[in-house]
Amino acid sequence: MPKITYIEHTGREHQAEVPLDLSVMRGAVDNNIPGIDADCGGECACATCHVYVDDAWLATTGTPVPGSQEASMLSFAALAQPNSRLSCQIKVTEALDGLIVRLPEGQH
Amino acid sequence: MSPPLDDAVHSAANNISLDAIDVSDPQIYQDDTWYPYFARLRREDPVHYVRDSRYGSYWAVTKYKDIMQVEVNHQVYSSASELGGIQIEEQPKGMDRPSFIRMDPPKHDEQRKVVSPVVAPANLANMEGLIRERTIRVLDDLPRGETFDWVDRVSIELTTMMLATLFDYPWDDRRQLTYWSDVAICNVNSPESPVHSEEERFAEMTKMAQALGALLNERAQMPPKFDLLSMLAHGEATREMPIREFMGTLSLLIVGGNDTTRNSMTGGLFALSQHPGEYQKLRDDPSLIPGMVSEIIRYVTPVIHMRRTAKEDSELGGKKIKQGDKVVIWYVSGNRDPEAIDDPDNFIIDRARPRQHLSFGFGIHRCVGNRLAELQLRILWEELLLRFPVIEVMGPPRRVYSNFIHGIRSLPVRIPA
């Protein structure tokens, strides 16, 4: 199973093995990793699973399609950056084995 | 509260013909008898067409997943004021008051982004100390050994203070903001409302716009600061608003900034008083407060519904929705949907996934102030537990006549001497 590293805003690291085809959000929630709230449960409807994708991984995860629901929700999130994604919209694949994401100060 | 509902209400809801069920009657919210009607609709006709209500025909969307589908498809299900806005009862033409909650992108997005920094994480962290200090003062001043109104002394007082801070409004006049909030959102057909016609409401809203407009003009002359009036005055997308849009925007920020949290502050205490086992669980373990806050917001569901208007034909829950149809999503019902939430009629302060509820809405119109609301409720309960092991509810809540705001007008309580 691909291994994903989640780094909290405080710097605390968590690693989780996440089954293929689940989302990066689900990997955090199922492993009780704090800092991802996922209020809407993965519907791309709330922006509380916001993560910053490590620059080295950005080409693999991609960035939100302009005009998409994800881009729209992220545009309302506090603290969004160019490497922001909603982790419910990143599907885990073999290519993402080793992915590193950082969590924002708060999920708003 | 739900389980001990009158048998008569249950049998009325179950024996009425399905076609006759109309959940827009404000009386069922004032009487707190809405539960069995929605339970039946979720079971038998989850996307329910009401042909003839006092507000015309509309679709009642009652299940969590269908509500979510409407929320995320704002291209199809519009909030635009010109099409009727966000309430089942429309504002009269010529007196309608647009604001970003009653707009679609792109204008919605531009205006929302002007004000959202006021509740960004850094600003919330700055406000926490102030909120706690005020909460302590309000609680320490409460009478002991005598019955008083929790709504007036605690819920309105705390949320009005918050509102005065968010607007940087003259402190001693702050209850004026509460008055305007009630004017903006009340049902004019209720004898308890502060205004009794749409004309009267519009006249009071005009006075509000004049008073706050004067403050806004002052702020426009000063360097930008972190209050809502200053932000509106300096925001590219908001600095030159037509008068009715200014009225609408103020109403949105004032109502959103206090009424909903006010009712959660009251509804939470009432829910705990009705569930003594949960209250004891809380006293035994105050670390349950954050999850309880989410549960309170779900259980209370401060906004009863939102309305959208279909901009094109679509399908929802197997029903064909036609362009122009009024689509009403009932948060009170989605939050009690057993397919989405386990044991939804029970108030459970340590339930799994308490944050998954519809009370803040989802999609682009999700409540801007949701984290501030949670912060205020968390601090209130932290400070209450430190002071008062027992708060007795002395009588039933008096509820508001409205199908939009799930309000509690008064709740008599007593703190033992």
CATH code of the domain containing B239: 1.10.630.10
Domain that holds residue B76: 7-414
Q: Which single residue is written with the structure tokens 């609680």? A: B139
Domain presence at residue B389: yes
Among the partner-chain residues A37, A44, A108, the one whose CB lies closest to the CB of B72 is: A44
Query: What pLDDT is stored for residue B216 in this prediction?
Result: 97
Q: What is the pTM of this model?
A: 0.96
Query: What pLDDT is stored for residue B1 in this prediction?
Result: 44
Among the partner-chain residues B105, B121, B362, the one whose CB lies closest to the CB of A46 is: B362
For residue B124, list chain A residues with Cβ-Cβ distance below 8 A: 106
Helices of type H across B224-258: 228-234, 243-256
Q: Do B117 and A78 touch (CB under 8 A)?
A: yes
Tokens in use for B151?
């709504």
Q: Do A69 and B124 touch (CB under 8 A)?
A: no
Tokens in use for A104?
């924002």
Cα dihedral across residues B373, B374, B375, B379: positive or negative: positive
Among the partner-chain residues A44, A69, A76, the one whose CB lies closest to the CB of B116 is: A76
Would you list which residues of chain A are within 8 Å, Cβ to Cβ, of chain B? 37-41, 43-48, 69, 72-73, 75-76, 78-79, 104-106, 108
Interface test with B, best of A36, A68, A103, A108 (most B CBs within 10 A): A108
Q: Do A76 and B119 touch (CB under 8 A)?
A: no
Domain presence at residue B328: yes
Contact between B61 and B316 (Cβ < 8 Å): yes
**pLDDT tens digits, residue range B80-118?**
999 999 999 999 999 999 999 999 999 999 999 999 999
The distance of Cα A102 from the centroid of its chain, to the nearest Å, equals: 8
Tokens in use for B121?
């994480």
For residue A39, list chain B residues with Cβ-Cβ distance below 8 A: 355-356, 360, 362
**pLDDT tens digits, residue range B356-389?**
999 999 999 999 999 999 999 999 999 999 999 9
Q: Answer whether the bond into residue B106 is a cis peptide, omega within 30°.
A: yes
Among the partner-chain residues A37, A104, A106, the one whose CB lies closest to the CB of B355 is: A37
Interface test with A, best of B366, B368, B370 (most A CBs within 10 A): B366
Task: Compute CA distances A97 → A1, A3, A32, A84, B161, whole Å.
Answer: 8, 5, 20, 19, 50
Query: What pLDDT is stored for residue B5 in this prediction?
Result: 64
Task: Indicate the residue type of A90.
Answer: I
Strands (E), A19-99: 50-53, 84-86
Compute the nearest-CA separation of A42 from chain B (Å): 10
Compute the nearest-CA separation of B263 from chain A (Å): 21
Domain ranges of chain A: 3-102
Query: For chain B, which residues score pLDDT lower than 50?
Result: 1-3
Query: What pLDDT is stored for residue A57 in this prediction?
Result: 97
Nearest CA in chain B to A40: B356
Which residues have a Cβ under 8 Å from the Cβ of B243 and sit 6 or more positions away?
A: B206, B209
Q: How far apart are CA B160 and CA B171, in angstroms?
A: 10
Query: What pLDDT is stored for residue B9 in this prediction?
Result: 86
Nearest CA in chain B to A47: B363
Nearest to B310 by CA among B34, B49, B40: B49
- Report the mean per-residue pLDDT for chain B: 96
Confidence check: pLDDT of A86 > 70: yes
Q: Which single residue is written with the structure tokens 């997308």? A: B237
Among the partner-chain residues A40, A69, A108, the one whose CB lies closest to the CB of B120 is: A108
Domain presence at residue B1: no
Among the partner-chain residues A69, A79, A108, the one whose CB lies closest to the CB of B371 is: A108
- Decide: helix, strand or coil at residue A12: coil
The count of structural domains within chain B is: 1
Q: Give the CATH architecture of domain A3-102.
A: Roll (3.10)
Nearest CA in chain A to B118: A78
Among the partner-chain residues B112, B120, B364, the one whose CB lies closest to the CB of A78 is: B120
Beta bridge partners of B410: B398
Tokens in use for A3?
């291994």
Nearest CA in chain B to A107: B121
Would you list which residues of chain B are within 8 Å, Cβ to Cβ, of chain A? 68, 71-72, 105, 109, 112-113, 116-117, 119-122, 124, 353, 355-356, 360, 362-364, 366, 371
Q: Do A48 and B72 touch (CB under 8 A)?
A: no
Interface test with A, best of B68, B226, B364, B374 (most A CBs within 10 A): B364
What number is the average pLDDT over the span A69-78? 94
Domain presence at residue B49: yes
Nearest CA in chain A to B114: A76
φ and ψ of A52, to 5 deg: -105, 125
For residue B116, list chain A residues with Cβ-Cβ distance below 8 A: 76, 78
Query: What pLDDT is stored for residue B4 in this prediction?
Result: 53
Nearest CA in chain B to A45: B363
Among the partner-chain residues B124, B362, B371, the one whose CB lies closest to the CB of A40 is: B362
